[in-house]
């Protein structure tokens, strides 16, 4: 141990070093300070290349605190929105938690902005990091009790896979969790339990992201007619799923649909809507014209594909 005078000398040297460092170091800008964020936003659009790069780095460090001001500036000056949206996009990648979520939500909202430059730039930002967004969305939905899966290719009429999500009684995300569905990039079918109490309007809002999305509940029946195709004035069955109610009664590929429950010559959309209104186990009357010109009428008990994507006879599977 140093003698007492030696210890005083050592303390004095350390204090001198601290004072010297304080006097000679460059002041550090607080990235959470609103004035500082505003200054970095101005630099991002008007500074030199080096200053723009530093400004973007500082805004990334500011994280969630910078998001409201970035969005406000984008709306106030749409012509110079792209560098700011790029920062938001980078923030969704760099920051896993609150900051990334706030930035991603902001970009999603900007896709609906009235200015085309802003909405186009926002859509481009979403497409840049789609794989990261999808991974996070699946992780978040899984934690909330949702199921994300793909129907085997053998059940798809064109040989491709069909991606679907299931929100049954295990799902705990409520309405707020629906935002993660927008981030899957591809979604063909959404199964939602009626017991969750999510309104049809909220579910229909997902069609902004997936215009052809099919939304079904455990109360919507099916027959197992896949890939039905327009044929003249009728719909022609392209494929019948094995084990489905349609297969059980003998419907065949090539049969032309003349009527479903009194709806004559239904369009494909009308046919699907009419069938889905029947809960599993309820009869559906289908009239077809066979290739040999026979007109046949079938009384088919609707099946269920809830949570499986594969229409089968009987009630929906228990949770």
Per residue in 219-243, pLDDT tens?
Answer: 999 999 876 677 677 888 988 988 9
pLDDT band at 32 (very low <50, low <70, confident <90, very high): low
Tell me, what's the pLDDT at 227?
A: 67
How far is the C-alpha of 23 from the C-alpha of 30, rounded, in Å? 18
State pLDDT tens for residues 43-73. Answer: 887 778 888 888 888 898 888 889 999 999 9
Q: Which of 13-22, 191-200, 245-254 has the weakest average pLDDT? A: 13-22
What pLDDT score was predicted for residue 149? 86
- Please give the class, per CATH, of domain 225-301: mainly beta
Kindly state the average pLDDT of the residues 150-169: 69
Q: Which residues contact 67 (CB under 8 A, 6 or more apart)?
A: 88, 91, 99, 102, 103, 106
- 271-305: buried (b, 16+ CB within 10 Å) or exposed (e) per residue? bbebbbebebeeebebbbbeeeeeeeebebbbbbb
Which secondary-structure segment (H or E) carries 301?
A: strand 295-301
Phi, psi at 286, each rounded to 5°: -125, 130
pTM: 0.66
Three-state DSSP class for residue 175: coil
What angle separates helix 34-46 from helix 82-94, to the nearest 10 degrees?
120
| 9 or 182, greater pLDDT | 182
| Dihedral in degrees, nearest 10, Cα atoms 140, 143, 146, 150 | 70
- The CA distances from residue 303 to 1, 109, 168, in Å, are 86, 39, 18
Tokens 């195709």 found at: 229
Taking Cα atoms as reference points, which of 263, 176, 270, 203 lies closest to residue 230? Answer: 270
Task: Specify whether the backbone of 243 is left (phi greater than 0), alpha (psi in -120 to 50) or beta.
Answer: left
* Averaged pLDDT score across all residues of the chain: 82
Q: Per-residue pLDDT averaged across 299-312, rounded?
A: 88
What is the per-residue pLDDT for 30?
45
- Alpha helices (H) along the chain: 4-24, 34-46, 49-62, 67-76, 82-94, 98-110, 116-128, 130-143, 200-204, 245-249, 268-276
Q: Residue 180 above 50 pLDDT?
A: yes
Answer whether residue 6 shows pLDDT above 90.
no
- pLDDT at site 178: 93
Residue carrying the six token digits 């009194």: 262
Give the confidence band of 154 by pLDDT, cuts at 50, 70, 90.
Answer: very low
Per residue in 77-107, pLDDT (tens digit) is 999 899 999 999 998 888 667 888 899 999 9
Q: Which of the four pLDDT bands, split at 50, 70 and 90, describes residue 309?
A: confident
Q: Averaged over 102-115, what is the pLDDT?
A: 92
Residue with the two structure tokens 């140093």: 2
pLDDT of the residue at 155: 44
99-127: average pLDDT? 91
Report the alpha-carbon distance of residue 119 to residue 107 in Å, rounded: 9
Note the pLDDT of residue 98.
82
| Better-predicted residue by pLDDT, 239 or 31 | 239
Asked if residue 187 lies in contact with residue 163, where contact means CB atoms within 8 angstroms, the answer is yes
Task: Give backbone dihedrals phi and psi of 25, rounded to 5 degrees, phi first.
Answer: -80, 155
Q: Looking at residue 49, what is its pLDDT?
A: 85
The pLDDT value recorded for residue 225 is 87
In this structure, which long-range contacts are made by residues 257-260, counting pairs with CB atoms below 8 Å and at least 24 apart in sequence? 257/228, 257/286, 257/287, 257/288, 258/234, 258/287, 258/288, 258/289, 258/295, 259/285, 259/286, 259/287, 260/284, 260/285, 260/286, 260/287
């Amino acid at each position: 141990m140093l003698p007492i005078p030696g210890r005083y000398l050592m303390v004095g040297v350390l204090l001198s070093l601290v004072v010297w460092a304080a006097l000679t170091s460059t002041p550090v800008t607080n990235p959470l300070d609103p004035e500082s964020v505003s200054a970095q936003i101005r630099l991002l659009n008007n500074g030199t290349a080096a200053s723009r790069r530093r400004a973007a780095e500082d805004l990334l460090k500011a994280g969630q605190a910078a998001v409201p001001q970035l969005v406000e500036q984008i709306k106030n000056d749409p012509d110079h929105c792209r560098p700011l949206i790029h920062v938001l996009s980078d923030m969704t990648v760099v920051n896993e938690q609150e900051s990334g979520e706030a930035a991603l939500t902001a970009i999603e909202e900007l896709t609906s902005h009235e200015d085309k430059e802003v909405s186009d730039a926002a859509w481009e930002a979403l497409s840049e990091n789609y794989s990261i967004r999808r991974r996070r969305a699946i992780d978040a939905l899984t934690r909330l009790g949702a199921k994300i899966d793909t129907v085997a290719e053998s059940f798809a009429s064109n040989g491709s896979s069909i991606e679907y999500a299931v929100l049954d009684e295990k799902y705990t995300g409520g309405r707020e969790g629906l935002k993660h569905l927008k981030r899957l990039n591809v979604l063909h079918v959404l199964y939602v339990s009626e017991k969750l109490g999510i309104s049809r309007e909220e579910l229909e809002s997902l069609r902004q992201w997936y215009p052809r999305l099919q939304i079904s509940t455990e109360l919507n029946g099916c027959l197992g007619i896949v890939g039905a195709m327009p044929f003249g004035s009728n719909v022609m069955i392209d494929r019948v799923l094995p084990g489905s109610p349609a297969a059980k009664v003998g419907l065949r590929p090539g049969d032309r649909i003349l009527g479903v429950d009194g709806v004559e010559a239904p369009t494909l959309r009308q046919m699907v809507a009419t069938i889905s209104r029947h809960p599993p186990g309820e009869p559906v009357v289908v009239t077809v014209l066979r290739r040999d010109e026979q007109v046949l009428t079938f009384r088919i008990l609707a099946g269920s594909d809830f949570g499986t994507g594969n229409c089968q006879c009987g009630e929906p599977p228990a949770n």
